[in-house]
Amino acid sequence: MSDLNPAANGRARIAAAFAQAQQTQSAALMPYFTLGYPDRQTSLDVVAAIAPDSDLLELGVPFSDPLADGPTIQHSTQVALENGTTVRGCLEMLAELRQRGVETPIMLMGYYNPILAYGVKNYVRDAAAAGADGFIVPDLPPEEAGELEEAAARTGTALIHFLAPTSSPARIANVAERAQGFIYLVSLTGVTGARTAVQSDLAAFVARVRQQASVPLAVGFGISTPQQAAQIGGMADGVIVGSALINAVDQAAGDKPGAAAAFVQTLREGVSG
């Protein structure tokens, strides 16, 4: 979907992606996929295949203890680690995707321990140079995010903060005040993974956050079908789908990038409908 200027800074590119989707009266679609899964080349081919129907992309940097992730993404990250995928290797894959012509805004999703080991400033600098537009760090609370926020600000990239249905009014106000790019709304209390239904109180949660937030709101966790994507897209500015995409790739006997592209096309039809 994206024809954004790759030379623009990450925050501007993220904002433009949401604005572009809004102009077409659609929620922005943001698929998640784990870098290095099921192997390096296939992951690159999958991301390149789904990019044309994606407004943004969330690419996972594998970590041994992914606390926020359910069995599907845990398995994908473990396989990627067993394949020898490293943080530096993920940045090299990101640069290769940009060289292949993928212009869609890319968010790197990873946990804080590998970022600390790499060096916060070095990680943000190298990721931005490779083509990252922003960072999603599930285990980094906003109260402890100052160093990464400052590093992101220096490179024009965005650090994305989370809110959950259990977030207090004070936490919502804090995140709304410091939000960059968009706010990631967790649709349920629990880990990632495909679910059969959307939480009944999700609309009220989105409305609570929208009262205070000036940036787009994207909902993730548990979204698995075009129908659910359409339902979420009717209340939020962005729809994030991860485990269901990995399942679609796993179930493909032959052309895994083609299967991924076909699945994302159904999600695109859902959010556009």
> 40 in the Ramachandran plot: left (φ > 0), alpha (ψ -120 to 50) or beta?
alpha
Residue whose entry in the numeric block shows the structure tokens 């940009």: 98
Q: Which of 45, 53, 55, 58 is catalytic?
A: 58
Residue whose entry in the numeric block shows the structure tokens 């800074």: 9
Amino acid sitting at position 182: F
- Residue 82 designated active-site: no
**Sign of the alpha-carbon torsion through 125, 127, 131, 135:** negative
Task: Determine how many CB atoms are found less than 10 A away from the CB of residue 103.
Answer: 15
On whether the CB atoms of residues 163 and 209 are closer than 8 A, the answer is yes
19/76 Cα distance (integer angstroms): 32
- Residue 39 designated active-site: no
Q: Which of 45, 53, 69, 149 is catalytic?
A: 69
What end-to-end distance do the CA atoms of the chain give, in Å? 15
15/45 Cα distance (integer angstroms): 26
133/98 Cα distance (integer angstroms): 12
Question: In terms of residues, how long is the chain?
Answer: 273
Active-site positions read 58, 69
